[in-house]
Structure 1
Amino acid sequence: MDVHVRGSGAVEPFLAARDLLETEYDLELPVIVKIREDPDERTMAGHYDDRHELLVSRRAATSAMARELALHEFAHMARYEEGHPSHVQSTEEALFLALAGRSVERRKLSQCYQIANHMKDIYADDITLDIGPTGKLVDFMESSLAAALAETPPPAPGEWTHETASADPEITAVNAAFALALLERHGAIEEEHRLYDLADAAAADAPGVSLSRFKQHFRSLVEDPGESEYRKALVEVTREYTLSGGTRAAD
């Protein structure tokens, strides 16, 4: 597995992630890592005929999670090369099937793509949690959910739900379900962990979203699905989300 790091920054996290991946997996195509100044996009991976590319902000490349983030993206590349349905099927096609004949607001549509990415992440992290340490990931998910909850203002009097550009309660609840599902899937979290309390708080902020149902959607994804099986799972979770909390006309 060839990894080439371009830009000003340490190469060690990426080489360490490569070494971890190579204990169980390999990539046929080389990986070009490009470190850039833009801090807004933590990581972004692209796949081409002759290479994979990983764009990483300098902030992410120098963070305590740099190796884990790189390993996560390398795992996505491994899933892509093996032709896993979650990584080669068209997300747009599945969402079209799920939403045909329905009017969905732009906010929820963009969040459906985020949910589809969660499903990809489940399969990528089946690799990372199998070969790498889990402690940092658990701490990262806990801090991320806590931050999202802190950004969500209390509801106005008489209102059940509230929305902000920074922290939408409905997708925050789904994100909590994803975190628990992933960690439970690999036995990486204890029953009394604080993440469960944070997830309950997220669920309370979004009473129209079933934390348990979305957790079951993510946790029960089969390891090696066929194309139609994976498409069906994505269609089901998309339909459930667009119906949660009520629906409104598209923007």
Structure 2
Amino acid sequence: MAHRLQRFVYGDTARSNGREYRYPGFVEKTGVRYLGQSVIFVRPNLLGELVDFLSKSRIEHEVTAAAVGQSRGWTISGICPKRVVSVRDATWSFSGFCPKSLVVRCLRSLPCLLRSEDFGHMSEHPQRFFRIPRVARSVLTAVVDRSGRGGTRKVKAAFEEVAARYEEHGLRVSWPVSAEIVSMAIMGATKSSDSSHTLFVSVRAVESGLLDGLIAHEMGHMLRTESGHASHNAEVFRALSREVRIPRAAEGAFSAAFNHIQDIYADDYAFLVFSTDGDDRAYEFFSQWIEGNASMRGRNRWKNVSLAATNGFALGNLLRHGRLSKDDPLWERAHAFDREAGFEAVAALANFYAKLPEDPSPEAFVTQVNTLATVMTRAASS
């Protein structure tokens, strides 16, 4: 790992048949400066290449925005209180370095500093290392703020807390995870590909009291993907595209309802790690969904069926985990939505989500999805 990191960052020299071959390192690119003590100055157009290498190598690193100073050089400040890095006219000085716990951010429009504990203590001569870098213990390889609103430290702390809770139950995400704080309509999302995960966290989630719950939910998706669960399996998705038939007008509604199936299986893990919480945030969260849907009912039949499916998912999820009684007022609110929309579907939908089998075979899962399509089509046709 140490040699690979040194070769990428600083380059390497090899000799063969009496000739010397030089492999340039990342710090030799235009727009990159080595500042010392594990700090590299990187312009935004090059940041992705470096972060990608570190993430795939599972090396912990931190990114922060840097302010641009005079045109003849840079003045970079605010890395740590009362500690400043400055670069002017091709010379640099460095005083102090950030505490290990600091989580920093990068704005696309600004040059960035990237700091990694794994670079080791370096001399002013970039070819030398004073210690071998360690492999990152945490699966979280990076937290980057794409919104400009901050919150990277909060996301990292919440991720590590939730990961610790999962480990208490013998569950651990294995693939490297990079997190991005973004402006988006939903609370968050996860993209999994090439044996890695990208966790997208909305600004709203960072600023709310639901950040740890969101991360627990998204970590549930990661665990299901890594285990090849039928609800998160690409081969099963291909089978669904062949065997499940829905009207074209229903595609949006059915897609949302199918996502709720995946959410059920992710929440089976999320509820597990939060089962000891004194406050029932899940009930409050899902009850707000049902309350909000009442004002969103319209004339489009399939849109109303989609909202009914969301109500069914909220009720079914709470019922599945023992957070909802049979006489809870949420039932009546969901039934009232159906009556005003001119159909009756929420009871069947809630029952469907509540009783999804824990670990279905691919064939059984396809059957379950067809059942969902049937329930929704009947509601739209009634």
Give yes or no for TM over 0.5.
yes
Q: Please tell me whether the aligned partners of residues 294 and 337 of structure 2 are also in contact (alpha carbons under 8 angstroms).
A: yes
Q: What's the counterpart of residue 177 of structure 2?
A: 31
Aligned-partner residue type, residue 263 of structure 2: D
Mapped partners of 1:49, 1:125: distance in 2: 24
Query: Quick check: 1:67 aligned with 2:67?
Result: no
Q: What's the counterpart of residue 372 of structure 2?
A: 237
Query: Quick check: 1:216 aligned with 2:321?
Result: no
Mapped partners of 2:378, 2:268: distance in 1: 29
Q: What is the TM-score with the length of structure 2 in the denominator? A: 0.56
Secondary structure in structure 1 of the residue aligned to 2:381: coil
Q: What's the counterpart of residue 258 of structure 2?
A: 116
After TM superposition, list the pairs within 5 Å mapping 1:29-108 onto structure 2: 29-36=175-182, 38-89=183-234, 90-91=236-237, 93-99=239-245, 104-106=247-249, 108=250
Displacement after TM superposition at 1:238 (Å): 1.3
Aligned-partner residue type, residue 352 of structure 2: H
Mapped partners of 2:237, 2:200: distance in 1: 21
Q: Please tell me whether the aligned partners of residues 17 and 71 of structure 1 are also in contact (alpha carbons under 8 angstroms).
A: yes
Q: Please tell me whether the aligned partners of residues 143 and 179 of structure 2 are also in contact (alpha carbons under 8 angstroms).
A: yes
Displacement after TM superposition at 1:211 (Å): 1.7
Aligned-partner residue type, residue 343 of structure 2: G
When residues 191 and 239 of structure 1 are mapped into structure 2, their CA distance, relative to the original with a 3 A threshold, is closer
Mapped partners of 1:188, 1:220: distance in 2: 14
Point out which structure has higher relative CO (alpha carbons under 8 A, 6+ apart).
Answer: 1
Aligned-partner residue type, residue 379 of structure 2: S
Number of equivalent positions:
232
Aligned-partner residue type, residue 31 of structure 1: V
After TM superposition, list the pairs within 5 Å mapping 1:129-144 onto structure 2: 129-132=271-274, 133=277, 135-144=280-289
**Hey, which of these two has a bigger chunk of strand by percent?**
2
| Identity among equivalent pairs (%) | 23
Mapped partners of 2:267, 2:323: distance in 1: 12
User: RMSD of the alignment, in Å?
Assistant: 2.2
Mapped partners of 1:95, 1:237: distance in 2: 14
Q: What's the counterpart of residue 19 of structure 1?
A: 164
Q: Please tell me whether the aligned partners of residues 21 and 131 of structure 1 are also in contact (alpha carbons under 8 angstroms).
A: yes
Q: What's the counterpart of residue 159 of structure 1?
A: none
Q: Please tell me whether the aligned partners of residues 43 and 54 of structure 1 are also in contact (alpha carbons under 8 angstroms).
A: yes
Q: Please tell me whether the aligned partners of residues 254 and 306 of structure 2 are also in contact (alpha carbons under 8 angstroms).
A: no
Q: Residue deviations 1:86-130, cap 9 Å, x none?
A: 11144464154221xx6x243x21111111111111111111112
Displacement after TM superposition at 1:188 (Å): 1.3
Match of 1:5 among 137, 143, 148: 143
Q: Unaligned regions of 5+ residues in structure 1, if any?
A: 154-161
Match of 2:338 among 194, 203, 206: 203
Runs of 4+ in 1 over 4 A off after TM superposition: none
Displacement after TM superposition at 1:229 (Å): 0.4
Q: What's the counterpart of residue 157 of structure 1?
A: none
**Hey, which of these two has a bigger chunk of helix by percent?**
1
Q: Please tell me whether the aligned partners of residues 45 and 53 of structure 1 are also in contact (alpha carbons under 8 angstroms).
A: yes
Structure number with bigger Rg:
2
Q: Unaligned regions of 5+ residues in structure 2, if any?
A: 1-137
Q: What is the TM-score with the length of structure 1 in the denominator? A: 0.84
Q: What's the counterpart of residue 158 of structure 1?
A: none
Q: Please tell me whether the aligned partners of residues 258 and 369 of structure 2 are also in contact (alpha carbons under 8 angstroms).
A: yes
